[in-house]
Amino acid sequence: MLERYFGLARHGATVGGEVRGGLTTFMVMAYIIFVNPAILSFSGIPALQGQGAPFAATQAATCLVAGALTIAMGLAANYPLALASGMGLNAVVAFQLIAGLKLPWQAAMGVVFLEGIAITILVLTGFREAIMDAIPLALKRAISVGIGLFILFIGLVSAGVVTPGPPGVPITLGELTSAPVAVALFGLLVTLWLQARGTSGSLLIGIALTTALAVLVNSATAGRAFPTPGQAVIPPSWLALPDFSTLGAGVDLSVFARIGSSPRA
pLDDT in tens, 213-227: 999 999 999 888 887
Return d(Cα 42, Cα 97) in angstroms, integer.
13
pLDDT tens digits for 32-77? Answer: 898 899 899 998 788 888 899 999 999 999 999 999 999 999 999 8
Average pLDDT over residues 164-184: 86
Q: Which H/E stretch holds residue 120?
A: helix 105-125
CA-based torsion, 149, 129, 111, 74: positive or negative? negative
Q: How confident is the model at residue 6 (pLDDT cuts 50, 70, 90)?
A: confident
How far apart, in Å, are the Cα atoms of 91 and each of 36, 40, 86, 142, 205?
Answer: 9, 7, 10, 19, 31
Q: Indicate the pTM of the whole model.
A: 0.76
Position 159 pLDDT exceeds 80: yes
Is the separation of the CB atoms in 109 and 116 below 8 Å? Answer: no
- Does position 264 have pLDDT exceeding 60, yes or no? no
In angstroms, the CA 247 to CA 212 distance is 34
